[in-house]
Structure 1
Amino acid sequence: MSRWPQCEPNGTRPGAMRGNATGRWAEGCGAVSVAFPLTMMIAGIVGNALAMLLVSRSYRAKGSRRKRSFLLCIGCLALTDLLGQLLTSPIVISVYLSDRAWGAVDPSGHLCVFFGFSMTVFGLCPLLIASAMAVERTLAIRAPHWYASHMKTQVTKLVLLAIWLAVLAFALLPIAGLGRYTLQWPGTWCFISTGHSLFFASAFAVLGLLSLVVTVACNLATIQALVSRCRTKGAASRSSKQWGRIAMETLIQLLGIMCVLSACWSPLLITMLKMIFSQTSFEHCRAFSSAAQSPDLHKECNFFLTAVRLASLNQILDPWVYLLLRKILLQKFCQAASAVSKCSNNEWKERSITLSEEIRRTAA
């Protein structure tokens, strides 16, 4: 494995450049301490563990039969994010404690392959699971009769297992010779190389973007169906109201996860496609070690590093979205959504009648 320039604690390295170039090196390489990945790991483990606990309790509840498929997806998403944190964060922390010298932690290069494999698996799985969740809710709301007769929890388990197996097989392609995992700037993590196999890198980016598009499209279709149902049904039965509440709760959770996925993954996926089309690789970020570094190169490399950190942040934010969007916040949101979509026309009529009666009594 080719060696990246080692970052010293004071931001310089032996025999490196002087002057402005040294300042830029310190800015690009020493901007984050070990406290950052350590904090991210703790927040991710706590959040995902709490989310799995709440999902387990909700799944065992008697009134959760209509939500069990969705809860399985939520639980699988939390488990995936938790495993991703446990497998990748300790490696990053070890590299930071070694003054960002990957070669000292991984002289053979096998750990880099494992890290890149983990990044691919635990990056693509949440995207596809979120798409499966969006499709599941769309079917439940737009085709409830078909959903009730065909969409069993066993089917959901098979779909989630198929996603896991497909992503694992895809991530193993570089080990089989199609694609490559390489050390990335600033030498603290490994990921797909965009300079060796365009097919593997482009396949990852396209699959990720397609899953985001499917998630957004399905959620928009679900919103449209919910609004139409609220407007067409004036007086609903108790069971129908309960179904609508469950659908609204899961929809809001889906929207939260969708927003987090889009914000965290879009920059990295779009940047990867841009690199593929321009036939460039961020391995040229090694130019940080030369005195002839350009400001444009500095911006590109730091933007790529920021995009990766945003993608890693997704594993932490996913469970907290589920934890925060619980009953208290959901009830307030449902009340606001009900007013906007005119779902409570009858209530407003009753209030207006009551108000007019009070005015008449006062006048009398």
Structure 2
Amino acid sequence: MRGPRGEGGAPPLCPRLNHSYPGLYPGLWAAERSAAARANATGPRAAGQDCGSVSVAFPITMLLTGFVGNALAMLLVSRSYRRRESRRRQSFLLCIGWLALTDLAGQLLTSPVVIAVYLSQRRWEHLDPSGRLCTFFGLSMTAFGLSSLLVASAMAVERALAIRAPHWYASHLQTRATRALLLGVWLAALGFALLPVLGVGRYAVQWPGTWCFISTGGAGNGTGAPRDRGGLFFASAFAFLGLAALAVTFACNLATIKALVSRCRAKASAAQSGAQWGRITTETAIQLTGILCVLSVCWTPLLIMMLKMIFNQTSVEHCKTHTEKLKECNFFLIAVRLASLNQILDPWVYLLLRKILLRKFCQLRKRGIREQAK
């Protein structure tokens, strides 16, 4: 298993995190820099200081907000699941609970490592000379990220079947089947993430040197050496699987909205029933649209950038030797944070905001009834 090292044996690290890092000053060490080198380093917009969005505040904030949201969602799901009147929704509640557990576990396994590296102000290779921590970190990022996408896709399929084929759904999709499906999804994501351990693909330290993820540069790393086909396959497969999951979620949510609108129009003849279906349709359509927007905004930039890097035979591992790529590296860091933001927004989009909106709607409706009675 190869260690998580970039070109020249050292991973990329932003100088603002560790001022002793020589990667952006090849051949120049702190004690040997000339006066001219110091002048260049302290000049306006020094290339080594263009660290953009690098800050320990980001992982700390995301860890705290993600923990609160997902823990609250799991608590609400647990309470609702035990109620008798929630039996018809047990499959959907299982999916939401599993998604919240997946997001929470992913954050707890990765965010503390990032925070520790930031605070230590040491190069990753000093903290992890064997490369095992990098492999574990990249495996966790890949497994839990892909699992979240696949679970969201499974939930979209489940909702589409419940609306468009209710009889088949009631007779075939029991809670046992849902549990088996969710377990299968998670095992498939874990099996895929284990491929670099088996020699297919690799995980590498990424800009700014505080985290690890799938290497998109191949074995050659842009140096003219033959590229690693296994690495290209692994990185491409992750990106295409993610985009496929987004496409399935998009198609199923649109099909669900269309079916709800058609059923709402059919029920419009009866005043009371039509009003109830209109409310349900509006609420569900808003929620599904929100899910589509959140998934697209959070995941599309990362997946598209990965494919772009694969086709251009580049990687953010090159940031320490190619200062002109720092802007692209900062964009990639922002894209990763957007994908991580999805783990924070999931419980709110799927559960918490829906409950808040329902309560607000009920309050407004009761207020309107009281005003009409007066």
Preserved contact between residue 100 and residue 187 of structure 1 (Cα < 8 Å): no
Give the 5 Å matches for 1:198-213.
198-213=232-247
Identity %: 68
Counterpart amino acid of 1:46? V
* Cα pair 1:73 1:129 within 8 Å, conserved: yes
Q: Which residue of 2 aligns with 1:80?
A: 102
Structure 2 residue corresponding to 1:302, chosen from 330, 340, 351? 330
Aligned match of 1:271? 305
Matched, 1:148 2:170: yes
Q: Does 1:138 align with 2:138?
A: no
Change (3 A) 1:190 1:28: same
SS at match of 2:41: coil
In 2, Cα distance between the equivalents of 1:100 and 1:125? 31
2:249 to 215, 219, 235: 215
Q: TM-score, normalised by structure 1?
A: 0.82
> Equivalents in 2 of 1:51, 1:183: separation in Å?
32
Deviation at 1:46, TM superposition (A): 1.1
Alignment CA distance shift 1:21-1:12 (3 Å)? farther
* Aligned match for 2:184, one of 162, 169, 194: 162
Mapped pair 1:24 → 2:47: yes
Structure 1 ranges of 4+ moved more than 6 A: 237-248, 331-336
Whole-angstrom distance in 2 between the partners of 1:24 and 1:66: 59
Q: Aligned runs of 1:189-338 on 2, under 5 Å?
A: 189-196=211-218, 197-235=231-269, 252-287=286-321, 293-294=323-324, 297-330=325-358
**Farther-moved stretch of structure 1 (245-254 vs 104-113):** 245-254
Residues 21 and 198 of structure 1: is their aligned pair in 2 closer, same or farther, counting only changes over 3 Å?
Answer: farther
Match of 2:88 in 1: 66
Once the 2 structures are TM-superposed, how far is the Cα of residue 184 of structure 1 from its aligned partner? 0.6
1:320, distance to aligned residue in structure 2 (A): 2.5
Could you tell me the TM-score, scaled by structure 2's length? 0.80
Supply the RMSD in Å over aligned alpha carbons: 2.9
Aligned pairs, number: 330
Q: Deviations over 1:147-198 (max 9, x none)?
A: 1111111111111011011111110100000000011111111000112211
Return closer, same or farther for 1:176/1:21 CA change in 2, 3 Å cut-off.
farther
SS, match of residue 179 in structure 1: coil
- Specify the code of the residue in structure 2 equivalent to 1:141: I
- In 2: Cα distance, 1:335 partner to 1:231 partner: 26
Structure 1 residue 106: Cα displacement:
1.3
Q: How far apart are 1:240 and its partner, in Å?
A: 9.7
**Distance change in 2, residues 1:225/1:201 (3 Å):** same
Task: State the AA in 1 paired with 2:63.
Answer: M
Name the CA distance, whole Å, in 1 between partners of 2:112 and 2:215: 22
Instruction: Name the CA distance, whole Å, in 1 between partners of 2:18 and 2:212.
Output: 22
Using the alignment, how far apart are the partners of 2:163 and 2:297 within structure 1?
A: 26
CA deviation after TM superposition for structure 1 residue 241, in Å: 8.2
Unaligned runs of 5+ in 2: 21-29, 219-230, 365-371
2:54·2:208 contact (CA, 8 Å) conserved in 1? Answer: no
Partner of 1:57: 79
> Which consecutive unaligned segments of at least 5 residues does structure 1 have?
337-353, 355-364
Alpha-carbon distance change, 76 to 244 in structure 1, aligned in 2, over 3 angstroms: farther
Q: 1:42 aligns with which of 61, 64, 70?
A: 64
In structure 1, what is the Cα distance between the partners aligned to 2:122 and 2:348? 30
When structure 1 is superposed on structure 2, of 223-232 and 20-29 the one drifting more is 20-29
The secondary structure found in structure 2 opposite 1:175 is: helix
Q: Is the 8 A contact 1:95 1:102 kept in 2?
A: yes
